[in-house]
Amino acid sequence: MYEAHFGLQEPPFALTPNTRYFLESPGHREALELLLVALREREGFVKVTGEVGTGKTLLCRMLLNALGDGYRTAYIPNPCLSAEGLYEALADELAITLPEQANVHRVLKTITQHLLAASEQQQQVVLIIDEAQAMPEETLEALRLLTNLETETTRLLQVVLFGQPELDSLLSQQTLRQLRQRITFQYGLPPLDRQSAVDYLRHRLAQAGYRGTDLFSAPALRLITRASGGIPRLLNVLAHKALLVAWGQGVRQVRRRHVSLAIRDTESVAMPGLLARVL
């Protein structure tokens, strides 16, 4: 659309998570380092929470890419499953053939045998669950039972939960206290600070092939970083719309007025009084 006009090779602000566009902001770098350390230490449960749009799914993919040959991973992006559905999804991810018409006991026995075989081969098995706040309570309890699987010296399965802040509320229930006590590492993913938000925009433009001077003016950067609240997804939405406005007007740099129009067109930030506060 506007790529040729601005000297871009591809859209820089697509919402689809792409690890090539990952920016090691302080918060995201700390989260990734914590996850890798926790998995090396073979901790049972690790939890990462963050508001909608803070980059949890992208961080999840970065973790999957960072785990080497010594790991077998299972990734469940939509965990709104029954307990049986969770076991079946785990088996499918690990390429485990389940017995036909098996009950829960036989399914768990088959999974356990696979995990034991992996341990004997010096392979760590990691289950990564995205959007974990959507898990039913009974499924979370089934997940806890899975982590009971261990030998005398090591855990057979490690679990990483990614979720919105509602996950903390869910886990605070008395009925889930046993699972909550097993979470040994946790991290709250913060929004980007102002400088990280500016770096984020410039990084994505550079990854998309931009090689010119600042495509966003300084006032435009101040407005877009404040209006987004440091949420990467909102930065993407506002930057994309501002580029569309500037392209439509035939100019080569995004100005403050272009960002203002993008804000007014974005329901999640276009609240009464917002522009008055940031102008």
pLDDT for res 75: 96
pLDDT over threshold 90, residue 165: yes
pLDDT for res 147: 80
The closest alpha carbon to 183, from 129, 144, 139, belongs to: 144
| Comparison of pLDDT for 102 and 17, the residue scoring more | 17
What are 190-222's pLDDT values in tens digits?
A: 999 999 999 999 999 999 999 999 999 999 999
pLDDT for res 200: 97
pLDDT for res 100: 81
- CA atoms of 143 and 180, how far apart (whole Å): 12
Tokens of 135: 């898990």
What are 3-60's pLDDT values in tens digits?
A: 999 999 999 999 999 999 999 899 999 999 999 999 998 877 899 999 999 999 999 9
- For residue 48, the 8-state DSSP code is E
What the chain holds in terms of domains, given with CATH numbers, is: 26-189 (3.40.50.300), 192-278 (1.10.8.60)
Residue 273: band (very low, low, confident or very high) from pLDDT cuts 50, 70, 90: low
The rounded mean pLDDT for the chain is 91
Average the pLDDT over 147-167 and give the result: 86
Average the pLDDT over 120-127 and give the result: 93
116 within 8 A of 96, measured Cβ to Cβ? no
pLDDT for res 206: 97
CB atoms within 10 A of CB 279: 10
| Comparison of pLDDT for 149 and 197, the residue scoring more | 197
What are 174-195's pLDDT values in tens digits?
A: 999 999 998 989 999 999 999 9
- CA atoms of 173 and 168, how far apart (whole Å): 9
pLDDT over threshold 60, residue 274: no
pLDDT for res 270: 53
Share of the chain above pLDDT 70, in %: 96
